[in-house]
């Protein structure tokens, strides 16, 4: 099974099947049923990941990832964090490779839960950037295929080995983080290298500040049109809220309540009296610049 960062067919307003690509595709709830059926359920991939040490004070050196992000991530006029994939040098690639090796060599089960939370998010995001770089230039992550019939892109490819376990991007997100933390805010910090996705952070996440970072990321996405917008009295939301509705409460009311918790006063006023989500959209174009 696949997640939002894997292949999801979209049905256009004209009723035609289309592939996720470089344009935003809007769809109604009924039209999106097929796509949602392909989304993975949250299920722990191994009991190994339940292990942690609440008393641990061990921290991870994320400075290499900080340096890479500071050099190559910038915010455009629409509030989207873009990555300068084309400007990444060989030394930058080595910096990224060294960081990923550091994470893979970390005995993650000895960390406390907050450190683990940050660990998995950083591993996913850094591995996603490396995957794009390995195939750049591409217009979308769905240009990255293992063969002509590969419709899932890179999300089910092995990107890391931790504690002897081969991990894909999907495994990290839906096989580890979603089942262990059951926190809807996690969807705001995983970055799938797409314009419609919540932003890639400009610095590494850290256990000591993970909850503050999660709230900040949630607010940034909710209050950007990529997350939700009101058009002619209709609520148009990111497909994240539909694909992962179980994480947000399973119905429109729960999703909108969640959104209101992170919304600005202006957005809250705009949502006043609105109780349903009318359509969903997502842009899979690469978040490059």
pTM of the model: 0.90
CA atoms lying within 13 Å on the CB side of residue 120:
26
Q: Tally the domains of the chain.
A: 1
Q: Which of 246, 254, 281 is nearest to 39 (CA)?
A: 246
Residue 49 banded pLDDT, cuts 50, 70, 90 = very high
Average pLDDT over all residues of the chain: 89
Q: Which of 216, 49, 56, 30 is nearest to 123 (CA)?
A: 49
Whole-angstrom distance, CA of residue 132 vs CA of residue 143: 10
DSSP letters for 7-61? ---EE-TTS-EE---SSEEEE-TGGGHHHHHTBPP---S-GGGG---TT------
pLDDT of residue 28: 53
Per cent of the chain over pLDDT 90 is 81
pLDDT of residue 66: 98
pLDDT of residue 1: 43
Q: What is the pLDDT of residues 191-232, one digit of tens each?
A: 999 999 999 999 999 999 999 999 999 999 999 999 999 999
- 107 domain-assigned: yes
- 244 domain-assigned: no
pLDDT of residue 153: 77
- 101 domain-assigned: yes
- 133 domain-assigned: yes
Please say if the pLDDT value at position 16 is more than 90: no
User: Could you tell me the residue range of the domain that residue 153 belongs to?
Assistant: 47-222
Q: What is the pLDDT of residues 110-163, one digit of tens each?
A: 999 999 999 999 999 999 999 999 999 999 998 998 777 666 679 989 999 999
Asked if 243 contacts 40 with a C-beta cutoff of 8 angstroms, the reply is no
Q: What is the pLDDT of residues 83-104, one digit of tens each?
A: 999 999 999 999 999 999 999 9
Between the alpha carbon of residue 117 and those of residues 44, 178, 181, 220, 270, the distances in Å are 15, 10, 8, 20, 33
- 87 domain-assigned: yes
Tokens of 15: 């009723």
Per cent of the chain over pLDDT 70 is 85
Please say if the pLDDT value at position 35 is more than 50: yes
Q: What is the mean pLDDT of residues 252-264?
A: 97
DSSP 8-state secondary structure symbol assigned to residue 211 = H
Residues pairing with 237 in the sheet: 228, 280
Three-state SS for 161? strand
- 14 domain-assigned: no
Asked if 32 contacts 242 with a C-beta cutoff of 8 angstroms, the reply is yes
Between strands 81-83 and 73-75, the pairing is antiparallel
Residues pairing with 263 in the sheet: none
Sign of CA pseudo-dihedral 236, 6, 135, 148: negative
Of the two residues 32 and 233, the one the predictor is more confident about is 233
Q: What is the mean pLDDT of residues 68-72?
A: 98
DSSP 8-state secondary structure symbol assigned to residue 162 = E
Residue ranges of alpha helices (H) inside the chain are 33-37, 63-72, 90-105, 113-135, 169-170, 178-181, 210-222, 240-243, 245-248, 252-262, 265-271
Of the two residues 16 and 125, the one the predictor is more confident about is 125
- 279 domain-assigned: no
Between strands 158-162 and 73-75, the pairing is unpaired
Between strands 234-238 and 279-283, the pairing is parallel
- 114 domain-assigned: yes
Sign of CA pseudo-dihedral 13, 14, 15, 20: negative
């Amino acid at each position: 099974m696949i997640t939002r960062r894997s292949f999801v067919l979209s049905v256009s307003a004209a009723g035609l099947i289309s592939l996720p690509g470089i344009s935003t595709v809007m769809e109604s709830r009924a039209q999106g049923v097929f796509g949602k059926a392909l989304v993975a359920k949250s299920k722990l991939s191994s009991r190994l990941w339940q292990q942690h040490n609440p008393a641990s004070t061990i921290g991870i050196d994320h400075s290499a990832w900080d340096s890479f992000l500071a050099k190559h991530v910038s915010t455009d006029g629409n509030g989207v964090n873009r990555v300068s994939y084309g400007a990444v040098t060989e030394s930058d690639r080595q910096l990224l490779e060294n960081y990923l090796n550091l994470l893979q060599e970390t005995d993650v089960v000895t960390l406390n839960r907050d450190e683990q939370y940050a660990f998995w998010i950083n591993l996913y995001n850094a591995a996603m950037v490396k995957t794009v770089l390995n195939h750049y230039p591409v217009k979308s992550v769905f240009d990255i295929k293992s063969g002509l019939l590969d419709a899932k892109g890179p999300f089910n490819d092995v990107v890391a080995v931790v504690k002897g376990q081969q991990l894909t991007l999907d495994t990290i997100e839906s096989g580890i983080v979603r089942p262990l933390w059951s926190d809807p805010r996690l969807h705001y910090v995983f970055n799938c290298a797409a314009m419609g996705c919540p932003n890639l952070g400009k610095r590494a996440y850290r256990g000591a500040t993970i909850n503050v970072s999660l709230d900040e990321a949630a607010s940034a996405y909710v209050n950007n049109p990529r997350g939700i917008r009101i058009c002619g009295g209709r609520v148009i939301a990111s497909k994240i809220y539909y694909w992962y509705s179980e994480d947000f409460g399973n119905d429109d009311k729960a999703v909108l309540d969640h959104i209101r918790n992170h919304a600005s006063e202006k957005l809250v006023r705009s949502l006043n009296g609105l109780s349903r989500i009318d359509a969903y959209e997502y842009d899979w174009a690469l978040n490059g610049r």
